[in-house]
Structure 1
Amino acid sequence: MSVKNPKYRKKKRKSGPYAVVEIAGKEYYLGKYNSKASREKYGRLVGEWMMTGRVALPFSTPETPLVMNQVFLAFIRHAKTHYRKEGEQTSEYESMRRIIKDARTRYGSATVSDFGPLAFRSVRQIWIDRGLTRQGINKNAGRLKHILNWAVSMELFPVDRAEAIARVSQLQEYRVDGVEESDEVTLVSLEVVHATIPNMTRTLADMVRVQLLSSCRPGEVCKLTPGAIDRSGDVWEYEVEHHKMRGKKGRERSKKIVYFGPEAQTILLPYLDRPDSEPLFSPAEHTAQLREARTKNRATPASCGNRVGTNRQRKPKKRPGKRWGSKAYGKAVKNVACRTFEMPEGLSDDERKKFAYDHHWTPNRLRHTQATVIRQKFGPEAAQVILGHKSIKTTETYAERDAEKAREVARRVG
């Protein structure tokens, strides 16, 4: 439903009619009715009100000071259209919503002039008490600063307050009690991956194999369509339109190419018979294969118990979508890994944590695994090209150094 603009209204007084407009519950005097100046002021006020997401005018007065709830609501309306990719809202939108939800619990009704560095630290303490890692807390704090800087650009938040909050430093490593560090994302053993794949459905297993062979990101294999693959050469190429680094400073026009060799082509070939714009890998097919496997492994004879398909909900709350999301893909892989490698009994907390990290893997670690293999066989520059990195330093964080080479040097030199 569209929101109508506030009306240009006429009011009477002894000296003659004058014009007013009511915005956000406040009536603004425009001047003599139907005059050029009043029409101009009306257009300016309504335009500014629309720019802030139809929440409040971009200024605060002693009589009607803006409160943080108005700022947050204006940003949410902006974020709904800003954080979109390929027609869908990105995960960053939901992250911003969570930040605002936490900030509102303490400062929703506070005026913008009351939200300063101490208030900012108080909101940050919510994330510390919740047990977030230092990296996660700093990322959330950066998002909150971004919200306030946007509000400054819309004249919804005082510049001096935003500048003071900008001086609040990030949490430093090992300087805050009770705040843990994030685990570094490292490679997963190929033996573990190959032991997990037989327990997957054909669709899920093929996604993992293609991602491992091409070193692409989980989101890139989820979005893969027949029309996006250039099959004119002996090596197929897939240009990722909306890749992770596009839009970053200095990378506005950068291209990301994913290459498919003979082995990956063999896996992809059976999926190329669908329409060009349809995703190759379907969650619906994965679900159907899961049910087929459960029916095949059913212990109860077919003549007993429920008939196949009779105990399903007629109108389930969730149905398999047309395309995988990165989170759903990662969750599906991790569930299979957890079933494949059950947690041994009698382990300490640290041992349980290490076992889970080594065996209960997710698809984002496959990129690190293949990057290390490529670096060992072909060198760091080849790994940089395959991964699509602009800087070799970025590749270093993905491809772990070959420890065996270091041992060989030590044997000869030391």
Structure 2
Amino acid sequence: MPRLRNAVPKYRKHKATGQAVVTIAGFDHYLGKFNSKASRMLYDRLIGEWLAAGRQGPPPDPDAFTITELIARYWRYAQAYYRRADGTPTDTAENMRPAFRVLRKTYGDTPVDDFGPIALKAVQQQFVELGQARKYVNENIDRIKRMVRWGVSEELVNESTLRRLETVNGLRKGKTTAHDNPEIPPVDDEVVDLTLPHLLPTLADMVQIQRLTGARPGEVCIMRAGDFDRRGETWVFVPERHKTEHHNKKRAIVIGPRAQKILEPYLNRDDLEYCFKPSEVIEEQLEDRHTKRVTPLSCGCKPSKRKRRRKRAPGDCYTNDSYRRAIHRACDRAFLPPAPLAKLKGESNNARVKRLTEKQRDELKVWLSDHRWSPNQLRHSMGTQTREEFGIEAVAAVLGHSRTDTSEIYALRNLKLAAEVAKAIG
């Protein structure tokens, strides 16, 4: 029979001594006289502590408990803890992986209690040398501190170790060689309009809906027919999950007449079925290719005669990443780079990369980055437009912010109003 890894250690009798014993994490704990009340109480306490520690025993020797072992224990905890109400994992645990990879490579064999401020600063400098932005470096250092704080709560790390690491400050702007990423700007309507013809109809409708509602990209991706209240002149969309649900905050997105008209064809389905399905988009793509076909039907493959074997089946709905990649591909088709960076006739992307020199590849990378926009910029555009017409309070209401200082990030200041004041006073 297979070994039961999740079984609770048994209360047993040690025949040689007549004592009760339980084995936890490979170590025998003698509990006193077998079947006595005191031994049963001690057994319950040890099992309770073992379950509270995530079915893991304490380290056998504090001096031998290393950074690698702490990462392994915290990783198991994080994968189980950082989940949504429906049980699906969030991105929080995966976002820790790059920071822990550098930490383990550099200090994996170091005892946890020997890992001090100088070591943490050395890891911080490694993040900088890897080219990480200042804000991202600070986030990674906070993740390491959070792990150590968890270790203290589990009695795996001495509290003094955490207090020493807390003395390491984050990188400050202008006081470090780490760069700062530019703020995310709104995307111009003209740029969006030029991109839309290069998107498949379903993806183009997703962009238009996000453009008109100011919803987050992930909220558009998970729209379902049953999540809409369509009883009034304006509809209300309540997403099944959202960014701030773990703070017990509610999220409701108001859908106006223009967005309603775009959404109507996608609502004729089951309540729990997603409106924008990748499988349907693939069918659209195949139909689009078929309409553009120049080879006679008597030659070559006929439609639906041979099914392509995909390495991975399309998901039930789009994700933030797949939605963004689709827009980036459309941008690459809409805004072609100049020669010699552009593709030659019949040339694949891999062939183009091999043809270009190293300098030209860098130039192509910069060109593509400058001529691509991401779906989150549509949210910034909505915030800026709303602020100019209705004020900052309206921005907070539309974008779902509980504080207006958060809305300041998404809405550019009304420079037109400042210009009018300058003309009148200055």
CA positional deviation for 1:355: 5.5
User: Shift of residue 185 of structure 1?
Assistant: 0.9
Deviation at 1:325, TM superposition (A): 1.1
**Stretches of structure 1 lacking an aligned partner (at least 5 in a row):** none
AA aligned to 2:6 is V
Residue type matched to 2:395 in 1?
A: A
Q: What's 1:372 paired with?
A: 384
2:186–2:378 CA contact under 8 A, matched in 1: yes
Q: 1:312 to 1:17 in 2, by over 3 A?
A: same
User: Paired residue for 2:173?
Assistant: 173
What percentage of aligned pairs have identical amino acids?
Answer: 39
Which residue of structure 1 aligns with residue 325 of structure 2?
Answer: 331
Residue 311 of structure 1 deviates from its aligned partner by: 6.6
TM-score by length of 2: 0.87
1:340 to 334, 337, 348: 334
Map residues 102-251 of structure 1 onto 2, 5 A cutoff: 102-177=102-177, 179-248=178-247
Q: Tell me: CA distance 1:56–1:102, structure 2 relative to 1, closer, same or farther (3 Å).
A: farther
Deviation at 1:388, TM superposition (A): 1.5
Question: In the superposition, relative to structure 1, how do residues 125 and 95 fare at CA in structure 2: closer, same or farther (>3 Å)?
Answer: same
Tell me the distance in 2 between the aligned counterparts of 1:186 and 1:209: 18
CA gap of 1:53–1:36, structure 2 versus 1, over 3 A, is: same
- Check the 8 A contact 2:68/2:104 in 1, yes or no: yes
1:296-311 matches, cutoff 5 A:
296-308=291-303
> Which letter maps to 1:23?
I
Residues 192 and 359, structure 1, Cα contact 8 Å, conserved in 2:
no
Deviation at 1:308, TM superposition (A): 4.0
Letter in 2 for 1:171: L
How many Å separate the matches in 1 of 2:45 and 2:30? 13
- In the alignment, the residues of structure 1 paired with residue 422 and residue 122 of structure 2 have an alpha-carbon distance, to the nearest angstrom, of 52
* Separation (CA, whole Å) in 1 of partners of 2:103 and 2:33: 43
Specify which of 390, 411, 415 is matched with residue 399 of structure 1. Answer: 411
1:313 deviates by 3.9
**3-state DSSP class of the match of 1:338?**
helix
Deviation at 1:351, TM superposition (A): 8.8
Instruction: Write the distance in 2 (CA, Å) between the matches of 1:210 and 1:275.
Output: 20
Q: CA deviation at 1:310?
A: 6.0
Check whether the contact 2:200–2:284 (CA below 8 A) recurs between aligned residues. yes
Give 1:145's aligned amino acid. Answer: K
Secondary structure at the aligned position of 2:245 is classed as: coil
Aligned to 2:285, what secondary structure does the other structure show? helix
Is 2:8 the partner of 1:5?
A: yes
Give the paired residue count.
Answer: 404
Task: Name whichever of 30-39 and 334-343 sits farther off.
Answer: 30-39
Aligned pair in 2 of structure 1 residues 300, 136: CA closer, same or farther (>3 Å)?
A: farther
For residues 57-98 of structure 1, what are the alpha-carbon distances to aligned partners after superposition, in whole Å with 9 as ceiling and x for unaligned?
2x6646x84333332222222222221123311111211234
Provide the rounded CA distance (Å) in 2 between the counterparts of 1:23 and 1:129.
43
Q: Which residue of 2 aligns with 1:266?
A: 261
| Residues 249-294 of structure 1, C-alpha deviations (whole Å, 9 max, x = no match) | xxx3x32221111100000101111111111111111122122222
1:312 Cα deviation from its structure 2 partner: 5.2
- The match for 1:33 is 34
For 2:24 and 2:414, how far apart are their aligned partners in 1? 65
Taking structure 1 as reference, are residues 87 and 247 closer, same or farther at Cα in structure 2, changes over 3 Å only? closer
Q: In terms of mean alpha carbon deviation, does 197-206 or 82-91 score higher?
A: 82-91
Alignment check: 8 A CA contact 2:133 2:181 kept: yes
Give the Å deviation of 1:42. 2.3
RMSD: 2.6
The answer to whether the 8 A contact 1:68-1:108 is kept is yes
Q: What TM-score do you get using the length of structure 1 for normalisation?
A: 0.89
> One-letter code of the match for 2:418?
A
- Maintained 8 Å contact 1:240/1:255: no
Q: Say if 2:406 is the partner of 1:413.
A: no
Query: Which residue type is aligned with residue 188 of structure 1?
Result: V
**Where does the alignment leave 5 or more consecutive residues of structure 2 unmatched?**
342-358
CA distance in 2, matches of 1:6, 1:255: 43
Question: Any conservation in 2 of the 1:56–1:70 contact (CA below 8 Å)?
Answer: no
Mapped contact 2:324–2:375 kept (Cα < 8 A): yes
Query: SS at the partner of 2:275?
Result: coil
CA contact (8 A) 2:216 2:379 kept: yes
Counterpart check, 1:359 vs 2:362 = no
Matched, 1:319 2:322: no
Structure 1 SS opposite 2:101: helix
Q: Is the 8 A contact 2:227 2:240 kept in 1?
A: no
CA contact (8 A) 1:69 1:104 kept: yes
Amino acid of the residue matched to residue 40 of structure 2?
A: R
Q: CA deviation at 1:240?
A: 3.4
Measure, in 1, the Cα distance between the counterparts of 2:176 and 2:61: 39
Tell me, yes or no, if the aligned pair for 1:241 and 1:256 is still in contact at 8 Å: no
